[in-house]
Copies of this chain bind each other. A is one copy, B any other.
Amino acid sequence: MDLAEKDQRIREFKRGCGERGERVTVQRTVILETVLDLDNHPSADQICDAVESRLPGIARTTVYRTLDHLARMGVITKACHPGPVARFDPRTEMHHHLVCLNCNDFIDFEDDTLNELTMPDTSAFGFEVKDYRVQLRGICKTCQEREKKEESI
């Protein structure tokens, strides 16, 4: 993510903390910066590793707690995916995903048409929709190639 946007997001985070009477700590700030530098929907574990190199000795628990906190604030998001490990996404703006049904990997996907769906009525559920994501489910390139190889054996 470019510097200007990072800065913007960090400011947003600090403002959010202020509004909620929560504290801006070194740990929180560094963790946020780290997530913003990662892509490919890092897991908490991957984020821990990356943070550790910037803030040696940071407690794992803190990273978990903070990620959850940032997600609740909406400064980052939790990614929706089929795997067994929570993954995070620095991107908060509208975008979509290709989800591989074989290896569970998922890839960012941009499409203007998908960005402009008219939202259906969810009032029957008392559910307040904020935004949406489309997941295109299928088989990724790597898995297709592996399947072909296995067939040819």
B-contacting residues of A (Cβ < 8 Å)? 71-72, 74, 77-86, 98-102, 104, 107, 109, 111, 113-114, 117-120, 122, 125-141, 144
Tell me if A's interface is mostly helix, strand, loop or mixed.
mixed
Sample (19) of A-B pairs whose CB atoms are under 8 Å apart: A74-B101, A77-B101, A78-B104, A79-B82, A80-B80, A80-B81, A84-B84, A84-B85, A84-B86, A98-B122, A98-B129, A113-B120, A120-B136, A125-B141, A127-B138, A128-B144, A129-B136, A132-B134, A134-B135
Contact of A109 among B107, B109, B125 (CB under 8 A): B125
Minimum Cβ distance to chain B for residue A129 (Å): 4
Q: Which residue of B lies closest to A108 (CB)?
A: B125
> Chain B residues with Cβ under 8 A from A101's Cβ?
71-72, 74, 77-78, 130
The answer to whether A133 and B135 have CB atoms under 8 Å apart is: yes
